[in-house]
Amino acid sequence: MKDYNIHIEDVTVYAWKKCQSGKLEYTRKDLNKGTPEDDLKAWGLVYDSYIKEFGIGSEYAYILELQSDLAILKLDLIITENRMLLNKIKALNVEIENYLNRSQENGTDITTTLIMVGKWLGYKVPERETTILELYKMIDLIKKESDKNKTLNNG
């Protein structure tokens, strides 16, 4: 995988956005060298490094829990053939869909995040040069500084 960026310290914000939209070839160091199979492997390694560094957010963990519950209900339906479970399955599907929609409405896209970080730093953060690791470290620093200021102002 020497022709690939496989860690968040190597993947730029620009490449991350492209990969998030399904263009996994942006894990490549050279867009002309690589295969779709290796692209997928590299993206898995990049995302693993992201999770190792920052963990799984509470919203993502909640969605995983709901999806796990849904899978169990579907298995119960197959095993028991109890058609009453179809109502629970439908209700859980609606809950998942509603939660995802609310999450997307309330969420901030990465471009907006770059703008906000740039405003805090006092200069534009270049997405083609800044890695995902650097961006999230900046965000953590901003949060810590904000929390420190809140404590000083309230105390």
DSSP secondary structure, 12-76, as one string: BHHHHHHHHTT-GGGGBSSTTS--HHHHHHHHHHHHHHHHHHH---HHHHHHHHHHHHHHHHHHH
DSSP 131: B
Non-local (6+) Cβ contacts of 10 within 8 A are 131
Amino acid (1-letter code) at residue 49: S
Q: Is the separation of the CB atoms in 5 and 11 below 8 Å?
A: yes
Per-residue pLDDT at 38? 97
CA distance 76 to 30: 48
Say if CB 4 and CB 38 are below 8 A apart.
yes
pLDDT of 62? 87
Q: What is the mean pLDDT of each run of 10 residues along the chain (155 residues)?
A: 94 94 96 96 94 81 90 95 94 88 68 87 93 92 86 73
Q: How many CB atoms lie within 10 A of CB 64?
A: 11
Cβ contacts of 85 within 8 Å, gap of 6 or more: 73, 76, 77
Structure token digits, residue 130: 């800044």
